[in-house]
């Protein structure tokens, strides 16, 4: 993977959160995103810091269905997340999670790998991040 940002300190912002905050609180989401980005900063000369403004390099959204970037989500199951490489596109660097999934973290009923589950299954962040490390998401 080539990272083509021309700077090494990148800002990130969790712009929207899962609709069901009873399953996954905001502080947990922000902490999870920090560790997700750390997967990159461990292997590339990059550092990330969280910002509060609207011009973060990496904007993280929980969204669903058609969300105006040309890659509509497909409801529960199927595609659970996607991310855009850096570049000129308006979504460059952004990461989207399908909010039609029931996101959890270390949920005891997490039994299936992300992408395999049928509708209604919880999506566990730990599993998604493990896929990231393997380069399959
Ligand atoms: Zn998207």
| pLDDT at residue 107 in the model | 59
Beta strand 81-83 pairing with 9-14: unpaired
Mean pLDDT of 31-35: 83
pLDDT one-digit tens code per residue, 76-94: 888 888 888 777 778 888 8
Q: What is the pLDDT of residue 83?
A: 83
Distance 96 CA to ligand 1 centre (A): 5
Phi then psi dihedrals of residue 90, to 5 deg:
-65, -20
Q: Which of 29-33, 46-50, 61-65, 119-123 has the highest mean pLDDT?
A: 61-65
What's the rounded Cα separation, in Å, for the pair 121 and 137?
18
**Domain 10-132, second-level architecture:** 3-Layer(aba) Sandwich (3.40)
Relative orientation angle of helices 125-134 and 26-41, to the nearest 10 degrees: 10
Q: Where are the domains of the chain?
A: 10-132
Distance 77 CA to ligand 1 centre (A): 16
- pLDDT value of position 65: 96
């Amino acid at each position: 993977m080539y990272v083509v940002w021309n700077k090494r300190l990148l800002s990130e912002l969790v712009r929207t959160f899962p609709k069901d905050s009873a399953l996954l609180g905001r502080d947990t989401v922000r902490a999870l995103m920090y560790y997700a980005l750390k997967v990159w900063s461990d292997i590339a000369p990059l550092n990330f810091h969280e910002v509060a403004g609207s011009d973060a390099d990496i904007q993280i959204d929980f969204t669903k269905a058609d969300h105006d970037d040309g890659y509509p989500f497909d409801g529960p199951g199927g595609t659970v997340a996607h991310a855009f490489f850096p570049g000129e596109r308006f979504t460059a660097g952004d990461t989207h999670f399908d909010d039609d999934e029931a996101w959890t973290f270390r949920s005891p009923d997490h039994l299936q790998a992300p992408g395999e589950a049928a509708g209604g299954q919880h999506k566990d962040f730990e599993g998604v991040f493990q896929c990231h490390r393997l380069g399959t998401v």
